[in-house]
Homo-oligomer: A and B are copies of this chain.
Amino acid sequence: MTTGETARDMANAIRFLSADAVENAASGHPGLPLGAADIATVLMTRFMTFDPTQPDWPNRDRFVFSAGHGSMLLYSLLYLLGYKDIGLDEIRTFRRLGSKAAGHPEYGHAAGIETTTGPLGQGIANAVGMAIAERHLSARFGEDIVDHRTYVLAGDGCLMEGISQEAISLAGHLKLSKLVVLWDDNGITIDGKVSLADSTDQIARFEACGWSTFTCDGHDQEEIAAALEAANASDRPSLVACRTTIGFGASTKAGTAKAHGSPLGTDEIKAMRETLGWPHEPFEIPATIVDQWRIAGLRSSAARRTWDQKLSSLDAVQRGEFDRVHRGDLPSGLKQGIERAKREANETRPDIATRKSSELSLAIINELVPETIGGSADLTGSNNTLTGSLERLDADNYGGRYLHYGIREHAMAGIMNGMALHGGVIPYGGTFLVFSDYARGAIRLSALMGIRTIYVLTHDSIGLGEDGPTHQPVEHLAALRAIPNLAVMRPADYVETLECWDIALQSRTMPSVLALSRQNVPALRTDQHDENRSARGAYELASANGEAAVTLFATGSEVQIAIEAKAVLDRDAIATRVVSVPCFELFERQSEEYRAAFLDDRSLKVAIEAGVRQGWDALIGRRGLFVGMDGFGASGRAGELYAHFGITTDTVVSRVRAALAATPRAEAPQPDGS
């Protein structure tokens, strides 16, 4: 424990590293690192348990830097504490292309960055997810093995975002007592004083959500420590409101929005050196200060070694499981279980909604994969996300594996991200596909971070019927496919649904969306294929009699329309093949040769999907036929809606006939051939 003068100098080391790095980069946010340096110093040197030499130690305390714009605070800490990935070179190249010290903290760039932050409020939700994972794993493996805290540093912006309310209300409900949010209460946002836009009593708000609250002077390290002590003693999650001055130490800009997001300027920093008594050159930290930081960084080494021994003393099965789930490996029995189910499905050929297929898949998966944690944003019975073996995860039973997230789609996504980042668990959660809009801020981060978060999005088209256009996704498949590194999967039947679930679980560096029907669909994959054909992204479900004159592409509940249209066209001696396209993203990753077999110029191309056309031109070409939606849906019965919007076998057949009549194949190929 370091206090007094030394501790102040340690905080000032953060301040000058940050201010000088921002100055050097000519871009960045000095205000928060200057203001929160004391908080961070106390937290890191007196409270947090971690080991910079083993940054992935499963039982480390987590530090979630929700106010990601102040990234230099985090980089300064990582350097000073002795994390290897961030050295002075990285800090000198802060915000430059290729630097690990990116503008905002990017998960995967450097050890010690627990999550990607910058979009405000997300860190709070991530932290709630980590705290849930911690309690759950502790219930599973014992308090000796899993027993750590999760600390968040959040700013005013994080608290104003709606996702924070969703996350803190669930955290309070779950009594996540090892979660502490440190609020950098500086009263300033980009536009000026917080009082321009907000008069919320945050203390009262958190208390209304079941949190303990504490306040302190964020520049008095002893007060901060006392508040943290009290927070850690609480049986509820805790808010520690730290009154700070943004840009603390900056002579003219401290306490104003000017300190927030721009370099302070050389004169300002020069004066700050005098004010804070810091005569050292930029990027020069006195060895004594670095030493103090490094000593602090090694505070928990003994605890970590003790923990290693505890882990070793676990029985072999438990030890094996602990290691396996933390490596992210799947249990060996899963592959067989899914293949068995596929073979059974070839016999039973169930005529069920793909959301039901997903439930059947999950019934298998949840038995075989004990690290799944399921849930839904209050649509459990609609999303079919709960299977028999899952108990409810709540404050009385952290060992449960099913979370009622409440009507909180955005927090659910952010919390699942936090669980996936924590490790040891695989989160999946459901809502309606249309409400992916509410969660999109967090879904994008799943993809950017490349983590295994699984979204179960049911009611995936006008096929949901009477609830009408507010509930009917039409643009959502396109909008989700537009996100890089996101596997958007829309299975056609139970076999494809099993395959898509298999893909989602295998996919360690890409999150998944399963878009699932409300309405029943027939079994279409009645072949015997142990191979996961959906993993190709697109594959020939039904081949043509001879060379195909027509290729029908379809996804999900519309694949049956393609199959029916093929039957009609075949009777007309129009050789037709059907390509099921469960996942664009995976298809794009196939070899040029594999893709070319579907994209050749020889057949008339038709796509059938109860969504907008956008994205399909890449497969069918600009002049390919598209049978789908070109506007919002309507309230009515599913079958009537499909007829009303012309997404029918008849439409497909008549449009194909018309197109072939206009351009007889014998005379000329498709005009655009693509």
A629 nearest CB neighbor, chain B only: B484
- A102, B468: Cβ atoms closer than 8 Å: yes
Beyond A204-B204, A632-B485, whether A618 also contacts B622 by CB under 8 A is: yes
How far in angstroms is the closest Cβ of chain B from A448? 6
Within 8 A of B (CB), among A88-133: 95-99, 102-104, 106, 116-120
A98 nearest CB neighbor, chain B only: B636
Interface centre among A405, A466, A481, by most chain B C-beta atoms within 10 angstroms, is A466
Q: Is A280 an interface residue (CB 8 A)?
A: no
A481 nearest CB neighbor, chain B only: B614
- A120, B208: Cβ atoms closer than 8 Å: no
How far in angstroms is the closest Cβ of chain B from A79? 18
Digit string of A601-640 for contact with B (CB within 8 Å is 1, else 0)?
1000000000011110111011100000011101111001
Interface class of chain A by DSSP: loop
- Docked complex Cα distance between A482 and B631 (Å): 10
Q: Is A55 an interface residue (CB 8 A)?
A: no
Contacts of A483 in B (CB 8 A): 475, 479
Contacts of A407 in B (CB 8 A): 120, 156-157, 160-161, 189, 197
Contacts of A621 in B (CB 8 A): 617, 621-622, 672, 674
- B484, A475: Cβ atoms closer than 8 Å: yes
- B612, A618: Cβ atoms closer than 8 Å: no
Give the interface size bracket for A toward B.
35 or more
- A632, B448: Cβ atoms closer than 8 Å: yes
A68 nearest CB neighbor, chain B only: B470
Q: Is A277 an interface residue (CB 8 A)?
A: no
The 3 A-B pairs at the shortest CB distance, nearest first, are namely A162-B162, A97-B636, A197-B406
Beyond A190-B378, A382-B190, whether A438 also contacts B119 by CB under 8 A is: yes
Within 8 A of B (CB), among A138-183: 156-157, 160-166, 169-170, 172-173
Q: Please name 18 pairs of A and B residues whose Cβ atoms are closer than 8 Å in the assembled complex, sorted by A.
A: A27-B465, A97-B640, A104-B467, A118-B467, A161-B409, A162-B164, A169-B200, A173-B199, A190-B378, A201-B208, A205-B208, A437-B440, A438-B441, A478-B482, A478-B614, A482-B612, A485-B632, A615-B615
A160 nearest CB neighbor, chain B only: B407
Within 8 A of B (CB), among A55-90: 68-69
Q: Is A282 an interface residue (CB 8 A)?
A: no
Within 8 A of B (CB), among A409-434: 409-411, 434
- Docked complex Cα distance between A467 and B103 (Å): 5
- A378, B119: Cβ atoms closer than 8 Å: no
Q: Is A25 an interface residue (CB 8 A)?
A: yes
- A191, B380: Cβ atoms closer than 8 Å: yes
- B615, A117: Cβ atoms closer than 8 Å: no
- Docked complex Cα distance between A435 and B438 (Å): 12
Q: Is A474 an interface residue (CB 8 A)?
A: yes
- Docked complex Cα distance between A469 and B104 (Å): 8
Q: Is A671 an interface residue (CB 8 A)?
A: yes
- Docked complex Cα distance between A411 and B166 (Å): 14
- A97, B634: Cβ atoms closer than 8 Å: yes
Contacts of A435 in B (CB 8 A): 119, 441
A173 nearest CB neighbor, chain B only: B199
Q: Is A381 an interface residue (CB 8 A)?
A: yes
8 Å CB contact of A157 from B157, B190, B378: B378
Contacts of A205 in B (CB 8 A): 205, 208-209
Extra contacts besides A104-B635, A196-B406, A601-B672 (17): CB < 8 Å:
A25-B466, A95-B636, A97-B637, A98-B636, A103-B635, A165-B165, A189-B406, A190-B380, A191-B376, A191-B381, A192-B404, A197-B405, A204-B204, A484-B612, A484-B632, A619-B622, A674-B674
Q: Is A529 an interface residue (CB 8 A)?
A: no
Q: Is A471 an interface residue (CB 8 A)?
A: yes
- Docked complex Cα distance between A96 and B637 (Å): 7
Contacts of A249 in B (CB 8 A): none
Contacts of A99 in B (CB 8 A): 635
Contacts of A441 in B (CB 8 A): 435, 437-438
Within 8 A of B (CB), among A378-405: 378-382, 392, 394, 404-405
- Docked complex Cα distance between A231 and B409 (Å): 31
Q: Is A526 an interface residue (CB 8 A)?
A: no
- B160, A163: Cβ atoms closer than 8 Å: no
How far in angstroms is the closest Cβ of chain B from A444? 6
- Docked complex Cα distance between A657 and B673 (Å): 23
Q: Is A374 an interface residue (CB 8 A)?
A: no
8 Å CB contact of A197 from B25, B173, B196: B173
